[in-house]
Amino acid sequence: MYEYVRHGTGPMSSTGTQAIVSFVSSFAKQAGEMNWPDIQYILLGTAVYTRMVEDFHRAFNVKKEVLTEYYRHAVLKDSFHIFVR
C-alpha cells in the first residue's frame, strides 16, 4: 500500500489482469456458431498468495486438491497464470 500511495508502483498499481482474448473455436465454426466467441484466455500476473487455493476454488470451481498440488511450488512467488474459459 505504501509503495503505491508514495510512488504509484507495486502490486496495487496493476489490476492483475494483463490481457484477455476471445475467439471462435473450430468446433463452434463447424457447428455454424461463428457469431459469438466460445473460448476466452485471461492472462493474470500476480504472486501466488497463501489463500489463492481457497479463492480460486470458489471463483473457478476447481477442486482444492488439484489447486494445492499445482500451486505448491509457487506459494509466495511472483508468477503469471493463463486461464481458459
Helix, strand, coil fractions of the chain, as percent rounded to 5:
40, 25, 35
Mean pLDDT for each consecutive 10-residue tract of the chain (85 residues)? Answer: 80 76 92 90 87 90 94 89 84
Say if residue 53 is exposed, middle or buried (CB neighbours under 10 Å; 0-12, 13-18, 19+): buried
Give the pLDDT score at 64.
96
pTM for the structure as a whole = 0.62
Give the pLDDT score at 31.
92
